[in-house]
Structure 1
Amino acid sequence: MIETILHSVDVFTILTFFITLLLAYIIWDNVVRVRTNIPGPTPWPIIGNLPSIIGTNNASETFLQMQKKYGDLVYLKFGKLPIVVVYGYKNVHQVLVDNGNKTKFRPRHLLRFLKTIFPKEAGVIFSNGQEWVDIRRFSMVALKDFGVGKQSIEEKIQDEVDFLMDLFSKQEKKPTDCSKMFPKATSNIISSIIFGSRFDFDDPEFNNLLGNIATIFKYASAFRLENCFPILDKVNPFNKIKLVVEGRKKIQKYIASRIESARCSFDANNIRHFLDVYLEQEGKPDSKISDECLFLTIADLYIAGTDTTSVTLQWSMMYMIKYPDIQKKCQTQILEVIGNDRQPVVRDKDNIPYVMATLHEVQRISTIAPLSVPHVALEDIDIDGKTVPKDTIIITNLMSVHLDPSVWDKPEEFRPERFLDKDGQFVKKEGFSTFSMGPRLCLGKQLAESELLLFFISILQRFNLTKGDDNDELPMIGIQTGATNQPQPFKICFIPR
């Protein structure tokens, strides 16, 4: 019977059947099943739009090209995962602020690597619901208690600044790759809050921790095949999610070992650092926060407090070399207001408007986190007349906010003056979104701002910055890792002033 049917069907009929089936799937997937009027590229069967992103050298630039073609909201499919990318200040503000209560959750239940790292509970970055409300409030109070926003944290930053300045001086004007030094300095500041002490730069355990953090930031991305096809977790020998999970576990294992060491000298009447906070809360029957959630939050704070600030400092050095006239203007103002005999302090920011403007312009134009940590729509949301369906993953493109011509005049230009008023005073810009916006605004914003300010001022106060290689073109297009936009490798000469 079957043999008779097969003989009666020619190749053309078979091809026609499969083509019709393919077209029917595409129409169903994009018209019937998708309850949205948001434009976007036609997805491939099964794999969706993944080929458009995976393998690209700069995912951020690829997404900006999509904006030019499809507009300020773009609908994508990554396997079965529905994703909407949101562009421009007006739309991003509408998603994260105006609809903040509908978009404040993370898609832990949708993304494979998040389900793998956080099978039950998560820390402050990826937790949801009341768990997130409680741990965020708790963390903010704890950070304040440990000096964030106060003189005590300034002193810790200043100590690390002095150590780094001494290290730069010892380079004796030789070309230096500061990409290895800045992470150690910024990590030591968050280490002092979490562990109560800093690491020696040559400590092998410290360098292993930093290597694991670099791996996490390089490969932790929603745009990976394994997020869409869990089977690849087991069969793909080049699975990068495994590296992220392993790196995270190694950091957590180290933190657990430090907790056990701190247990020996713990005194509930003398809370010294974040590990003591954990020990104080441990096992409390009336605590709103579980031990596991607090433990994972410690890891979150340590990882997040290391990478992003150091990358921003690298960009600031590159721009100062690229624009020596702006470097000179900053140094002149620093000399006039602070001089060269004392350390800068955070309150100096009120009297150095051009320096503040320059630092903000570096953050705007480099946008080290061009794509936000993913959000998820808790219900259907109307954005600019278009529908973002419930359970859609939302990616806000912060780079597009910083390049939005409706907010910034000639946004492609590096021009610190855009942050100054007609009287030359520093002004905050509504579209400045380095730390995102809305309920999920970066928890470490205040600490990061203090670090950036004191490191940036101190370096320009003590050194002239020049190219490490006269032939280096210093390309301003960054390298997009899993999470951050990093400058391409360059060397710098620190010339004592």
Structure 2
Amino acid sequence: MALWDTEFGVKGSSIIREWSGQVQPALVASFIFLFCLEACLWVRNLRYKRKLPGPFAWPVVGNAMQLGQMPHITFSKMAKKYGNIYQIRLGCNDIVVLNGRTAIRQALIEHATEFAGRPNFVSFQAVSGGNSMTFTNYSKQWKMHRRIAQSTIRAFSSANSQTKKAFEQHIVGEALDLVQVFLRLSADGRYFNPSHQLTVAAANVICALCFGKRYGHDDLEFRTLLTRVNKFGETVGAGSLVDVMPWLQSFPNPVRRIYQNFKELNAEFFAFVKDKVIQHRETYNPEVTRDMSDAIISVIEHGKDNGLSKDFVEGTVTDLIGAGQDTVSTLLQWILLLLVKYPHIQAKLQEQIDKVVGRDRLPTLEDKKSLAYLDAFVYETMRFTSFVPVTIPHSTTTEVTIDGVRIPKDTVVFINQWSVNHDPENWKDPHVFNPSRFLDENGVLDKDLTSSVMIFSIGKRRCIGDQIAKVEVFCFLPSCSTSASLRASPPRK
């Protein structure tokens, strides 16, 4: 929700990974055409000296075949040879890749405005009816849109108000229901995949915030919604072939079909959200703010002139729903996996929760200051997994120079967050999962170290919902662990 820099399951590395995975069948259908078109460009490029270091790029495919299934690892290896700022080529696009904490912070913090753009990719234009804050380019309108979304999220999750308490209660309630569902599914001793249940729980929290309504785990309408969102996440990366080779839309080929499916999924999901927003407009009462949809309608449609049309309401809510369920559910799945893999860490967490919270009450955010190891565990999960290894592509809004390297305007830029979280110069034994690395000798959380973890990006495109994600995950974990005494309670309706 950047809104997350991971909206709707969009992982920067997924864009590249799908590019690599789809390139061969696409070339089977259109190789001759592409070769004739690209060969001239390739020969032309050989006549000119490269502006940036980087690997040799082949005609048509560029460097796509070199990236493999884990591009973020490849990027880090390339950085050892070419430096932390280098250039690759995908299709017709020269792309700058940034690695390492120093180069990335210099770009996104010291030159935040210059790196705040988004490429003019056709797949980006298909999201949220073209009004997605996450995928639109940097502008005055974008800044106003982001400011409204930020203030709305803050009012419902961070402010010291009744809405904050309601947010916390939503999370705890979903955690209790999640435990009940897990117990039911495992009652006969069978194994089950918890992925769907975790997705439902995370999506219910953001739906309660946006629509004032939660759904049951077996609700048909809700399952349809999540299917659309999940397919979005599975498909969005495949659209990148059309992004970097837009002429693929001009004739039949596998990528064209995939992109058409991508657009249809976007249209279906957007229609679902739009229907909910219309219902909110019809029942809107300026005296009562029921949820974030009401709050956004109030500011955009009934507030001072801000240059945003009412279509931006649907775009904002669509961003929030897609981002809110994907990022949190992904993090929860990794947490569950790591708890199973490291039982001694699970036991240590349970011991601290039992000591601070006990088994006769539910946890609250007030307990957070006394659960430092739990916080450390969450930060280490984000660092270790780096489940958003590469952010959504940026683009430069003007010519800019970082670390002595000149980058032209409108250059596509990949940010390799994985390289920051696994740099051996910043982290001792980065490939070892160790939550205690975030605690000092007194067991206090090291704030400087936690701020070094890069998972929600930084700068102007930083995820505005990162605090929601952290609060949600923090509340889920102790709530699930302390719900043993509440197992007899039936799920909420």
TM-score (norm 2): 0.83
1:349 to 2:368 alignment: yes
Amino acid at match of 2:253: N
Q: 1:333/1:279 Cα in 2 relative to 1: closer, same or farther (>3 Å)?
A: closer
Displacement of 1:421 in angstroms is 0.8
Computed over aligned residues only, the root mean square deviation of the Cα atoms, in angstroms, reads 2.5
Who is 1:333 aligned against? 352
Distance 2:287 2:129 in 1: 35
String of CA shifts for 1:65-93, please: whole Å, max 9, x gaps: 33344332230111221211111111111
Identify the residue that residue 326 of structure 2 maps to in structure 1.
307
| Counterpart mapping for 1:285-296 below 5 A | 286-296=305-315
SS in 2 for 1:364: helix
Taking the aligned partners of 1:290 and 1:33, their CA distance within structure 2 comes to 46
Asked if the contact 2:389/2:418 (under 8 Å) is kept, the reply is yes
Q: Alpha-carbon deviation of 1:117?
A: 3.9
Confirm or deny: 8 A CA contact 1:371 1:399 kept in the other structure. Answer: yes
Residues 254-288 of structure 1 deviation map (CA, whole Å, 9 limit, x = unaligned): 11211232333221211212332454333778233
Q: Contact 1:367/1:399 (CA < 8 Å) preserved in 2? A: yes
Partners of 2:405 and 2:219 in 1: CA distance: 53
From 162, 167, 178, the counterpart of 1:164: 178
Q: Deviations over 1:29-54 (max 9, x none)?
A: 256275x2x3211112244223334x
Choose which of 188, 208, 211 in structure 1 pairs with 2:204.
188
Other structure's SS at 1:231 match: helix
Deviations 1:208-233 (A, max 9, x none): 11111112222223883211222323
Aligned residues: 438
Residue 433 (1) aligns with residue 454 (2): yes
- Contact 2:210 2:321 (C-alpha < 8 Å) held by counterparts: yes
The Cα of 1:240 is off from its aligned counterpart by 2.8
Counterpart code for 2:466: K
Q: Is the 8 A contact 1:344 1:454 kept in 2?
A: yes
> Which residue, 272, 284, 302 being the options, matches 1:254?
272
Structure 1 stretch displaced more, 377-386 or 324-333: 377-386
Distance 1:194 1:328, change over 3 A: same
State which of 220, 236, 258 in structure 2 corresponds to 1:220. 236
Higher normalized contact order (CA 8 Å, seq sep 6+, divided by chain length): 2
- Measure the CA separation in 2 of the matches of 1:195 and 1:90: 41
Residue 91 of structure 1: aligned partner: 103
User: Could you say which residue in structure 2 is the equivalent of 1:236?
Assistant: 253
2:155 alignment partner in structure 1: 145
Please say if residues 121 and 127 of structure 1, whose CA atoms lie closer than 8 Å, have aligned partners that are also in contact.
Answer: no
Identity of aligned residues (%): 29
Q: Which residue of 1 aligns with 2:5?
A: none
Whole-angstrom distance in 2 between the partners of 1:22 and 1:351? 60
Tell me the SS of whatever aligns to 2:460. Answer: coil
| Residues 396 and 408 in structure 2, CA contact (< 8 A), matched pair in contact too | yes
> 2:258 and 2:279 mapped to 1: Cα distance?
32
CA separation of 1:338 and 1:77: change in aligned 2, threshold 3 A: same
Q: 1:25–1:288: structure 2 CA closer, same or farther, 3 Å change rule? A: closer
Per the alignment, residue 481 of structure 1 pairs with none
- How many angstroms apart in 2 are the aligned matches of 1:104 and 1:221? 21
Which residue among 51, 59, 74 is the counterpart of 1:45? 59
Question: Which amino acid is 1:236 matched to?
Answer: N
Residue of 136, 160, 171 corresponding to 1:126: 136
Contact 1:40/1:74 (<8 A) preserved: yes
| Structure 2 unmatched ranges of 5 or more | 1-36, 485-493
1:225 to 1:147, Cα distance in 2 relative to 1, 3 A: closer
Distance 1:59 1:405 in 2: 19
For structure 1, the residue ranges without an aligned partner over 5 or more in a row are 1-20, 464-497
Structure number with greater Rg is 1
Residue pair 1:125, 1:300 contacting (<8 A) in 2 also:
no
Instruction: Indicate if the aligned counterparts of 2:114 and 2:396 stay in contact, CA closer than 8 A.
Output: yes
Pick one of 447, 457, 478 that aligns with 2:468: 447
Deviations 1:296-343 (Å, cap 9, x if unpaired)?
Answer: 111011100011111111111111111111111111111111111111
Residue identity in the other structure for 1:315: W
Q: 1:221–1:33: structure 2 CA closer, same or farther, 3 Å change rule? A: farther
Cα pair 1:353 1:426 within 8 Å, conserved = yes
For the 8 Å contact 2:133–2:316, the answer to whether it is kept is yes
Q: 2:194 aligns with which of 153, 178, 184?
A: 178
Task: Give the conservation status (yes or no) of the 8 Å contact 1:135–1:294.
Answer: no
User: Shift of residue 148 of structure 1?
Assistant: 4.2
Rounded to whole Å, the distance in 1 between the matches of 2:90 and 2:481 is 45
What residue in structure 2 maps to residue 457 of structure 1?
A: 478
Distance in 1, Cα, partners of 2:212 & 2:40: 61
Please tell me whether the aligned partners of residues 112 and 228 of structure 1 are also in contact (alpha carbons under 8 angstroms). Answer: no
**How far did residue 408 of structure 1 move?**
0.7
Quote the Cα distance in structure 1 between the aligned partners of 2:39 and 2:253: 30
TM-score w.r.t. the length of structure 1 is 0.82
- Give the Cα separation in 2 of the matches to 1:191 and 1:418: 35
Deviations 1:71-129, CA, capped at 9 Å, x for gaps: 3223011122121111111111111111111111211x2x2212344786433553421
2:114 alignment partner, SS class:
helix
